[in-house]
């Protein structure tokens, strides 16, 4: 048992007396320490542009709490900075210096140090400093870390020579990649993830005398150099200096091949020598070291040759470069063999640790790149907002290629599979085509268009080097208070199933034969199963009210509503499935509410067994941490339940190590591991990653192209649902003078919603695109705009008020968690003022229905615009009649929140507007009589018997339009229920029954 190490506080004089004479003498030559933070109250809790300390995190629960506390044991002064934390994603705090004051000069010092109260938790704690740039949030980030492996106070010393340039994230894309130290803007500290704890810190200061070698550094052009057996690796060694100044003294680099798994003299010719950069050498000078390898006839796995570099006069590279002789001559490398044989051959060669690595997925933002090879990682991801800097297609491809290069240093050179949440286009990428969210696509009732949106998304995602998309969400949303309801195609499983054509858009043919194309990606059906059915108030995650809660259903309800879309997804060849954070409680099964990541009866039994799913199951973000018991129980429970790959963003080391231990202890079988890894490797082979691991950017020029945006524009137009149109106010005439108002008329951030550049999305000018206002102007409309309707309202023919929600994602957007279904006071005021002054159209830009019944009488035309994406011209197209309104409600529009949940098929059903409702402006509906309905019913029944989908849909649509024309604004429960039921029957191919229901609705109108 290791004894905890406890740091002792001793007076400075006594400490000096205890130092060796040489150290004391050296310390005497050093400049005195320079305070950065004493934490005595001299620096406020504030953010830029002021000087201050502030917290941050991945979501609302992740930022730590901070306070200045009186402590008798404070290493300096009376107070210390202290706080508590419980971080699931990432979180920490920053001290930024005042942005309106000059930056600080730290170049005279050796490093930065501070006192830290250790808890011996073994966690690595990243510490970064901010160099150059305009201010603390537009600087260059340099990072190092220390390990909390002690107890009590200890002074942590971090020499500036230990700091490395952050390659995973830079606020402004990096500046000169040189740690200059002359313009410093502060520091930041990242607290441990997955651990509930507290911390205390004191006395941050600069110490020591500057290391002269700090201003010059030596680097290599890559960390890994794969070479075909018999080829020669060429390692380029480059000198760089602060400010591009020539070096004052010679810099020597002694190199030698040593160690590794390759055999000297047999696999390669050893090399050694010295490179010299004389005094006066300019920054950027380079030289090349060549390492020849030798060829033999035997097939073998990859072998490594480290090239050790010893540098004098400059900072050495952070890593020892590795030459890798590529694996060759082994069956799994032969693309002519069937995938099944390649998988079996590779699996037979892998160690348990290598297999565990393939089952592990890490977040790129929390990754030490060298760990890819050290832990044989199988996958990386970018969570929402986790992007390279700059956020361009080129930077994405370069970043992912860099990660793939690291994987080449593993024994079998198994490529990584990189995943992103491209849930409505490549929404993490700036400049991508952003589609309407799924709820809008559901409103289009256009499966072919859904497939086209998937194809555009796949092409843009793959062109950045990403082969895997965590989409589509095939949830069936049963309660619009859910913060993820806009990720659903609708409340009817039949509608969701019909829109799963998006899978073919993403993946191509169902047999997987298109996956290796440069415009297709592996898709993910999520979240298995029942995530859309959670009960309001059942969530126990933070302040969430419904997301990640409990879905309580009978076995038949589970089959009919929530499992049905997964059967379709499996039939369509879906490559991966993601379980839900939520719990499932099946009435009468005796299990109670069980987290989905633990439900082997559902994952192994239903999905893999009864449905025959042969892809792999990927967990949700840190989802296993929500399972009961200790961490080992989390791991074995999820793996034994059938989860094949674990999304463990920041705890990848813990997961892979624990999984190995569980197998060795016999609590997880090797057969289960082999099944999981076989499934993962199969998809990697199908994607063509073994032959082409690096990005194919040939399609990058099409990202955000006019052709791609045309698809998004069409989707935006078809998603618009016309709920009310008194007097035929819509479409507008371009000759009319139009007064436009409302919070969402000219806000691209609100229009695109959550999951746009960042997880939660943001209001404002966030992404390139066209707002609804801009679209109206581009359409040629005579438009005046006043956001708050404060401009005079006289002299206009019609008003258009665009209102609704601001962005949110997941449980952060749950109703009751800071959100409601009512319009904001400002939006209500804008509607009242404009609609009180003129004829008006109200557009609701939102992820779910908004309660509008109290104002419906004063509104002439009402449109559900959903979240239309970046192409506001699509909304203008239907407003001005360039395209007809054809959208239909994918969810029931309630009268009040007390009605929720309300869904098609409910025994009691009296909504504001029923499921399937949607007026049209493009069709003249003739009057009907008894003969009309009799004819429609007979023809629809005949089409149903023949399986004639086209004719059946056309006949039901005619009947639907007749009901809407007759009902007008007189909606009653007697009309709404059969009307909604008819739309469900239409989607299930029961055309005759659908017309019968619509006949009932017509008679009740």
The band of 1, judged by pLDDT with boundaries at 50, 70 and 90, is very low
Q: Which pLDDT score, from 0 to 100, does residue 6 have?
A: 27
Q: What confidence tens digit (pLDDT) does each residue in 6-23 have? A: 232 333 333 333 333 333
Flag the least confident range among 22-26, 349-353, 991-995.
Answer: 22-26
Q: What confidence tens digit (pLDDT) does each residue in 730-757 have? A: 999 999 999 999 999 999 999 999 999 9
Q: Angle, nearest 10°, between helix axes 949-967 and 973-987?
A: 170
The verdict on whether 229 is a catalytic residue reads no
> Would you tell me how many other CB atoms lie within 10 Å of the CB of residue 901?
18
Residue 659 or 365, more confident:
659
Task: Let me know if 605 is exposed, middle or buried by CB neighbors in 10 A (0-12, 13-18, 19+).
Answer: middle
pLDDT at 393 over 60: yes
The band of 3, judged by pLDDT with boundaries at 50, 70 and 90, is very low
> Would you tell me how many other CB atoms lie within 10 Å of the CB of residue 535?
17
Nearest by Cα to 652 from 455, 430, 375, 449 = 375
Helix (H, G, I), strand (E, B) or coil at 819: strand
Summary mean pLDDT of the chain: 94
Q: What is the mean pLDDT of residues 159-168?
A: 87
Q: What confidence tens digit (pLDDT) does each residue in 305-344 have? A: 999 999 999 989 989 999 999 999 999 999 999 999 999 9
C-alpha 355/C-alpha 681 separation (Å) is: 10
Q: What is the mean pLDDT of residues 109-114?
A: 96
pLDDT at 146 over 80: yes
The band of 5, judged by pLDDT with boundaries at 50, 70 and 90, is very low
Q: What confidence tens digit (pLDDT) does each residue in 549-589 have? A: 999 999 999 999 999 999 999 999 999 999 999 999 999 99
Instruction: Give 669's contacts (C-beta < 8 A, 6+ positions apart).
Output: 663
C-alpha 949/C-alpha 148 separation (Å) is: 66
Nearest by Cα to 89 from 59, 66, 65, 64 = 59
pLDDT at 4 over 90: no
Q: What confidence tens digit (pLDDT) does each residue in 969-992 have? A: 899 999 999 999 999 999 999 999
Q: Which of 810, 827, 983, 1000 is catalytic?
A: 810
Instruction: Give 930's contacts (C-beta < 8 A, 6+ positions apart).
Output: none
The band of 27, judged by pLDDT with boundaries at 50, 70 and 90, is low
Angle at 287 between CA 284 and CA 291, to 5 degrees: 140
The verdict on whether 620 is a catalytic residue reads yes
Q: Which pLDDT score, from 0 to 100, does residue 174 have?
A: 72
pLDDT at 161 over 90: no
The band of 212, judged by pLDDT with boundaries at 50, 70 and 90, is low
Specify the DSSP class assigned to residue 758: B
pLDDT at 850 over 60: yes
Q: Which pLDDT score, from 0 to 100, does residue 239 have?
A: 95
Q: Which pLDDT score, from 0 to 100, does residue 348 have?
A: 98
User: Does the predicted TM-score (pTM) go above 0.75?
Assistant: yes
Nearest by Cα to 866 from 789, 802, 781 = 802
Q: What confidence tens digit (pLDDT) does each residue in 637-658 have? A: 999 999 999 999 999 999 999 9
Q: What confidence tens digit (pLDDT) does each residue in 957-973 have? A: 999 999 999 998 899 99
pLDDT at 2 over 90: no
Q: What is the mean pLDDT of residues 504-526?
A: 98
List, as one string, the DSSP characters of 490-535.
-S-HHHHHHGGGHHHHHH-STTSTTTTSTT--B-EEEEETTGGGPP
Q: Which pLDDT score, from 0 to 100, does residue 209 have?
A: 87
Q: Which pLDDT score, from 0 to 100, does residue 170 have?
A: 85
Assign 3-class secondary structure to 822-868.
Answer: ECCHHHHHHHHHHHHHCCEEEEEECCCCCECHHHHHHCCEEEEEECC
Q: Which is it for strands 151-159 and 111-119: parallel, antiparallel or unpaired?
A: antiparallel
Q: Which of 51, 203, 620, 718 is catalytic?
A: 620
Assign 3-class secondary structure to 337-348.
Answer: CCHHHHHHHHHH
Q: What confidence tens digit (pLDDT) does each residue in 462-499 have? A: 999 999 999 999 999 999 999 999 999 999 999 999 99
Q: Which pLDDT score, from 0 to 100, does residue 9 have?
A: 30
The band of 88, judged by pLDDT with boundaries at 50, 70 and 90, is confident
Q: Do 10 and 17 contact (CB within 8 A), yes or no?
A: no
> Would you tell me how many other CB atoms lie within 10 Å of the CB of residue 706?
9
Flag the least confident range among 213-217, 532-536, 936-940.
Answer: 213-217
C-alpha 829/C-alpha 801 separation (Å) is: 10
């Amino acid at each position: 048992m290791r004894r905890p190490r406890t740091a002792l506080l001793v007076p400075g004089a006594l400490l000096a007396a205890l130092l060796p004479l040489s150290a004391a003498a050296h310390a005497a030559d050093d400049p005195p320490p320079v305070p950065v933070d004493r934490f005595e109250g001299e620096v406020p809790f504030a953010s830029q542009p002021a000087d201050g300390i502030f917290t941050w995190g991945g979501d609302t629960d992740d930022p730590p709490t901070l306070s200045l506390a009186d402590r008798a044991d404070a290493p300096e002064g009376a107070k210390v900075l202290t706080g508590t934390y419980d971080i699931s994603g990432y979180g920490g705090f920053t001290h930024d210096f005042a942005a309106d004051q000059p930056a600080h000069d730290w170049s005279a010092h050796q490093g930065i140090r501070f006192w830290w109260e250790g808890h011996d938790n073994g966690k690595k704690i990243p510490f970064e400093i901010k160099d150059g740039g305009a201010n603390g949030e537009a600087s260059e980030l340099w990072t190092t870390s220390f390990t909390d492996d002690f107890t009590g106070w200890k002074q942590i010393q971090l020499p500036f020579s230990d700091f490395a340039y952050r390659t995973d994230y830079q606020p402004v894309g990096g500046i000169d990649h040189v740690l200059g130290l002359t313009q410093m803007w502060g520091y930041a500290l990242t607290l441990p993830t997955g651990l509930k704890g507290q911390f205390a810190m004191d006395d941050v200061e600069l110490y020591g005398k500057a290391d002269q070698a700090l201003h010059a550094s030596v680097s290599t052009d890559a960390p890994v150099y794969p070479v075909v057996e018999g080829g020669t690796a060429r390692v380029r060694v480059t000198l760089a200096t602060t400010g591009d100044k020539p070096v004052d003294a010679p810099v020597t680099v002694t190199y030698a091949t040593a160690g590794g798994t390759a055999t000297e003299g047999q696999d390669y010719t050893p090399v050694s020598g010295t490179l010299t950069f004389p005094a006066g050498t300019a920054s950027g000078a380079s030289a090349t070291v060549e390492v020849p390898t030798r060829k033999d006839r035997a097939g073998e796995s990859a072998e490594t040759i480290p090239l050790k570099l010893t540098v004098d006069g400059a900072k050495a590279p952070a890593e020892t470069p590795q030459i890798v002789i590529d694996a060759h001559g082994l069956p799994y490398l032969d693309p002519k063999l069937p995938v099944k044989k390649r998988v079996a051959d590779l699996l037979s060669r892998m160690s348990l640790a290598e297999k565990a690595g393939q089952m592990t997925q890490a977040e790129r933002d929390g990754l030490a790149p060298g760990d890819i090879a050290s832990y044989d990682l199988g996958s990386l991801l970018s969570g929402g907002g986790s992007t390279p800097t700059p956020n361009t297609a080129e930077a994405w491809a370069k970043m992912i290629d860099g990660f793939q290069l690291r994987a080449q240093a593993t024994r079998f050179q198994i490529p990584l599979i990189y995943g992103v949440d491209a849930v409505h286009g490549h929404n993490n990428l700036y400049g991508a085509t952003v589609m309407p969210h799924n709820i809008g696509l559901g409103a289009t009732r256009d499966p072919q268009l859904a497939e086209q949106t998937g194809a555009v998304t796949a092409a843009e995602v793959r062109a950045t080097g990403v082969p895997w998309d965590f989409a589509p969400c095939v949830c069936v949303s049963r309660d619009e208070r859910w913060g993820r309801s806009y990720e659903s195609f609708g409340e009817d499983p039949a509608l969701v199933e019909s829109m799963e054509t998006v899978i073919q858009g993403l993946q191509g043919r169902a047999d997987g034969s298109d996956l290796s194309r440069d415009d297709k990606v592996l898709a993910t059906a999520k979240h298995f199963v029942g995530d859309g059915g959670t009960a309001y108030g059942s969530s126990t995650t933070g302040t969430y009210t419904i997301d990640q809660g409990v879905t309580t259903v009978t076995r038949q309800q589970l089959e009919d509503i929530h499992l049905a879309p997964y059967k379709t997804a499996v039939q369509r060849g879906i490559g991966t499935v993601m379980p839900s954070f939520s719990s499932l409680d099946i009435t009468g099964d005796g299990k109670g509410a069980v987290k989905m990541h633990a439900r082997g009866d559902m994952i192994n039994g239903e999905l893999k067994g009864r449905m025959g799913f042969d892809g792999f199951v990927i967990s949700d973000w840190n989802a296993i941490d929500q399972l009961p018991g200790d961490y080992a129980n989390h791991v074995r429970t999820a793996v034994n339940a059938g989860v094949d790959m674990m999304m463990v963003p920041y705890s990848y080391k813990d997961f892979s190590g624990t999984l190995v231990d569980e197998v060795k202890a016999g609590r997880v079988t090797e057969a289960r591991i082999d099944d999981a890894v076989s499934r993962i490797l199969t998809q990697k082979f199908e994607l063509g990653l073994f032959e082409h691991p690096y990005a194919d950017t040939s399609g990058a020029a099409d990202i955000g192209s006019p052709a791609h945006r045309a698809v998004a524009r069409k989707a935006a137009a078809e998603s618009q649902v016309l709920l009310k149109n008194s007097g035929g106010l819509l479409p507008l005439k371009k000759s009319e003078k139009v007064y436009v108002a409302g919070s969402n008329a000219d806000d691209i951030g609100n229009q695109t919603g959550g999951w746009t550049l960042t997880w939660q999305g943001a209001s404002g000018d966030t992404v390139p695109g066209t707002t609804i206002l801009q679209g109206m102007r581009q359409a040629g409309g005579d438009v005046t705009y006043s956001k708050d309707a404060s401009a005079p309202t006289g002299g206009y023919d019609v008003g258009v008020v665009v209102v609704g929600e601001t962005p949110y994602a997941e449980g952060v957007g749950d109703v009751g968690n800071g959100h409601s279904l009512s319009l904001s006071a400002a939006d209500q005021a804008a509607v009242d003022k404009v609609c009180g002054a003129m004829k008006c159209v109200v557009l609701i830009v939102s992820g779910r229905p908004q309660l509008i019944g109290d104002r419906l009488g004063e509104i002439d035309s009402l449109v559900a615009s959903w979240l239309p994406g970046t192409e506001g011209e699509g909304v203008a197209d239907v407003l001005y009649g360039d395209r007809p309104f054809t959208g239909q409600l994918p969810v029931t529009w309630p009268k009040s929140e007390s009605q929720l949940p309300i869904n098609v098929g409910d025994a009691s059903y009296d909504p504001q507007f029923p499921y399937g409702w949607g007026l049209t402006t493009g069709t003249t509906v003739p009057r009907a009589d008894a003969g009309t309905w009799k004819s429609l019913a007979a023809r629809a029944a005949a089409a149903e018997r023949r399986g004639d989908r086209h004719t059946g849909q056309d006949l039901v649509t005619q009947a639907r339009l007749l009901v809407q024309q007759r009902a007008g604004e007189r909606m009653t429960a007697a009309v709404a229920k059969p009307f909604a039921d008819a739309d469900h029957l239409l989607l299930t191919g029961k055309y005759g029954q659908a017309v019968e229901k619509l006949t009932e609705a017509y008679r009740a109108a």
